[in-house]
Chains A and B, each alone.
Chain A
Amino acid sequence: MPHTKKPRVATVSLAGCFGCHMSLLDLDERFLQLSDIVEFGRSPINDLRRFNERCRVGLIEGGCCNEENVQTLVEFRESCDLLIAVGECAIMGGIPAMRNTLPLADCLEEAYLDGRSVYNPSGRIPDDPELPLLLDRVYCAHDVVKIDYHLPGCPPQADTIWQALVAVLSDNPVNLPYELVKYD
């Protein structure tokens, strides 16, 4: 379906460090150019918390470490034509996935009870019903939903994000030059 108005782009940081969003801001003056060609949908950039319209592209930072992440990611999948996993955490789980070798209970005990620097006189693991439940391990984005593109990097350079975004928005194949996807 041809888009008569500006295509909408949604972004989200799930189990990530916001570093990938910082990279997006690294577009510097091109960010203004970006706002000329796209409208932001649900995104921390405009602080919009809900999808009010279908989006052309969703940029996913981070994998899923809790149920809320899963819910958000599923909403993204349902509300965006294309999903792009941005950065190592979304693609492979990244640093958060380092807990995957340990049972969840051990992680919580180390973090809230037994860790050397823990000060927790209540001796309780946080259990407020407002807190989303953690998953047994950290899942990368494509473990949970289908992902259309992966942009490698920690974070991917602003240029990488820019070129990929411009390509998909203009229905061109994403052919990133080697320098933008090599990491050695």
Chain B
Amino acid sequence: MDLPLRERIESVCRQYDRRRDRLMDMAIDIQAAERCISPEAQDALARELGMEVVDVQSLVTFYAFLTESPTGRVVVRLCDDIPDFLAGLDAVAEALSSELGLEFGQTSPDGQITLERTPCIGMSDQCPAALVNEVVVTNLTPESARAMARGLLRHGDPHRLVEHTGDGRNSHELIRAMVQNNLRERGPVLFGGPVTGRGLEAALRKPSAEVRAQVRASNLRGRGGAGFPTGQKWDFAAKAEGTRRTVICNADEGEPGTFKDRVLLTELPELMFEGMTIAAYAIGADEGILYLRGEYTYLRPFLEHVLGLRRRSGLLGRNILGHSGFDFDIRIQMGAGAYVCGEESALISSCEGLRGDPKTRPPYPAQSGYLGRPTVVNNVETLCAAARILEHGADWFAAIGEPQSTGTKLLSVSGHCERPGVYEVPNGLTLSDLLERVGAKQVQAVQVGGFSGHLIPPREFGRRISNTDLLTGGAVLVLGEGVDLIAMGVRVLEFFVEESCGFCTPCRAGNVLLLERMKRVAAGHGEEADYTYLAELSEAIKGTSRCGFGQTSPNVVLDLLRHFRPVLEKSIGIDPGNGTREAFDLGAALRDAERISGRRSTHHLAERTEHREAAPRKEVKIDGQTRQDTPKEGER
């Protein structure tokens, strides 16, 4: 017989020594076992840990993968980001929904299946893609979506959806995913040769200060998007006051269109762990955390296995490689579907068992981070590169790329091109070179750096992937000529509205206002004054937001205003000429009342109303083609 809920919760808490800072892990385990963290479960958790229920609730309601009411036994999360739209998402969504007999957001009455939408799951090179529990399904077509739905209705086992496993370690028995690496170009740094472990050996032969000096000399800069000099960060942490120090590897990879860390986590986890261990030695850390996004849960068993092997080989644990006094181990912290947790201070909050709210800085994590300890947070790719630097030397690394932007950069290319996938290219590569390599033609714009990055127009394709020009975490989204850029802007803002942590007003409220106005423009009711409004509001949000999220979320709007003004101007509505707002739709505003009262408006406004009815609002579709059955400009 089942234990009562209280006892089940108690046993989960015991596994984590009732440590409040492990609340994330407990919540994730409970969600998996109970399919929700009900108010009763929250209550039990709070009592067990001696916390307030609101604090538990605040965590549960923050993360998309944690729910207060039960999900189905199988949760299907279809990615609905821009690359998926470009690859025919609408038909797939329709097929999935009709075959399952569920609307998005619904759970089947028998509690078997929940159907949801989710932002990018890191498969933009093989989309449309979905998560079925932790199982990834890729390259969906309406037919394969129907087959998948039928399979789930029949056997309810997500693992049976994987008929063929992908290349490389995607076929490893602990992964067995249909994911393909799509590793199109191997550069000299990351994919230049086998993982030998010599970087760590070399590091341990030197004093830690020299390891840091070498990383400084290599001029390695962070690959997570901000480009901060890695050696300098390590120095800060090493010199900060504190008895214990922490190294965190940021594998949250939440920026839509970014999936390069997925390939590193699959193919080079040894190199990544080696990099973490080197960082730990360099700063004197005894604890490491790999923060793995919830969407990559399918990689966890394999990564645990690699950690286990390393412990057995003396590469983790006490006196690593016989170096007495160097003790270091790594645990994996799972995320649970929150983009903002990629921001380093929010990520630390999440590791501490809190909501993923960014923290106020200073103090910076290097001074006071995880549990108040000096903490280095580095991207997966940064740590891999650091291991190579210790292996081959700083000069070797600095000779690759550009003087101010050394080494290679891993790019995740998706969208309208023949060869989407991961490219390791030397820093300094121009966009036009890149577009050539990926087989992209008739390109309208390229979004570099994901939604928080920049939209680059063709006349600027001579710009370079570099710390001094286009600084990017690696996402490159190619937008062909058919794409409706305004609709795309709307989708980007919807993402930011959904994902804002809500802590500060400019970001929480400002993005909502931006979205509202962009939707008006997208519907063809723009006014000249809207552009001033959008520009001013964007600057206000960027200038006053508390973290990098709000400081970058309006970029897409500003880039549209700066580079795609003619596109925007096409959506300026017809001025009614009497001072009324083009966007105000009296007919629509009266529809409810007409239905309730069963009579038509008696006021002399019928003309205006009918003018509107003849011209239904344009639906916002990213893929330009789907617009054809709505009225075109001039037809109204």
Task: Identify the stretch in A45-53, A115-123, A131-139, A162-170 within 8 Å (CB) of chain B at 4 or more residues.
Answer: A131-139
B218 CB, min distance to chain A CBs, angstroms? 53
Q: Are A133 and B597 in contact (CB under 8 A)?
A: yes
Q: Are B581 and A144 in contact (CB under 8 A)?
A: yes
Judge if A68 is at the interface, Cβ distance under 8 Å: yes
Alpha-carbon gap, A155 to B579, bound state (A): 26
Q: Which residues of A contact B598 (CB under 8 A)?
A: 127
Judge if B584 is at the interface, Cβ distance under 8 Å: yes
Q: Which residues of B contact A142 (CB under 8 A)?
A: 581
Q: Which residues of B contact A143 (CB under 8 A)?
A: 581, 583-584
Q: B581, B593, B604: which contacts A135 (Cβ < 8 A)?
A: B593
Q: Are A67 and B586 in contact (CB under 8 A)?
A: yes
Q: A134, A144, A145: which contacts B593 (Cβ < 8 A)?
A: A134
Could you say which interface size class chain A belongs to? Answer: 20 to 34
User: Which B542-595 residues have C-beta < 8 A from chain A?
Assistant: 578-581, 583-584, 586, 588-594
Q: Are A136 and B603 in contact (CB under 8 A)?
A: no
Judge if A129 is at the interface, Cβ distance under 8 Å: yes
Q: Are A104 and B604 in contact (CB under 8 A)?
A: no
Alpha-carbon gap, A135 to B591, bound state (A): 8
Q: A67, A74, A136, A145: which contacts B588 (Cβ < 8 A)?
A: A136
Q: Do A105 and B596 form a contact, CB below 8 Å, given A67-B586, A70-B586, A136-B589?
A: yes
User: Which A124-181 residues have C-beta < 8 A from chain B?
Assistant: 125, 127, 129, 132-137, 139, 142-146
A-B pairs with beta carbons under 8 A, tally:
72
Q: Which residues of B contact A134 (CB under 8 A)?
A: 592-593
Q: Are B580 and A133 in contact (CB under 8 A)?
A: no
Alpha-carbon gap, A105 to B599, bound state (A): 15
Residues 19-30 of chain A: 1 if any B CB is under 8 Å from the residue's CB, otherwise 0? Answer: 000000000000
Judge if B601 is at the interface, Cβ distance under 8 Å: yes
Q: Which residues of A contact B588 (CB under 8 A)?
A: 136
B606 CB, min distance to chain A CBs, angstroms? 11
Q: B579, B581, B583, B590: which contacts A67 (Cβ < 8 A)?
A: B590
Q: Are B592 and A136 in contact (CB under 8 A)?
A: yes
Judge if A34 is at the interface, Cβ distance under 8 Å: no
Alpha-carbon gap, A134 to B605, bound state (A): 14
A67 CB, min distance to chain B CBs, angstroms? 5
Judge if A71 is at the interface, Cβ distance under 8 Å: yes
Q: Are A146 and B579 in contact (CB under 8 A)?
A: yes
Q: Are B590 and A135 in contact (CB under 8 A)?
A: yes
Q: Are A145 and B589 in contact (CB under 8 A)?
A: no
Q: Do A68 and B603 form a contact, CB below 8 Å, given A77-B578, A104-B592?
A: yes
Alpha-carbon gap, A129 to B601, bound state (A): 9
Q: Are A139 and B602 in contact (CB under 8 A)?
A: no
Q: Which residues of B contact A110 (CB under 8 A)?
A: none
Q: Are B579 and A71 in contact (CB under 8 A)?
A: no
B143 CB, min distance to chain A CBs, angstroms? 39
Q: Are A139 and B584 in contact (CB under 8 A)?
A: yes
User: Which B45-80 residues have C-beta < 8 A from chain A?
Assistant: none
Known contacts A67-B605, A105-B592, A144-B584; 6 additional CB pairs below 8 A are: A67-B586, A70-B605, A77-B579, A133-B590, A134-B593, A145-B581
Interface residues of A (CB under 8 A from B): 67-68, 70-71, 74, 77-78, 103-105, 108, 125, 127, 129, 132-137, 139, 142-146
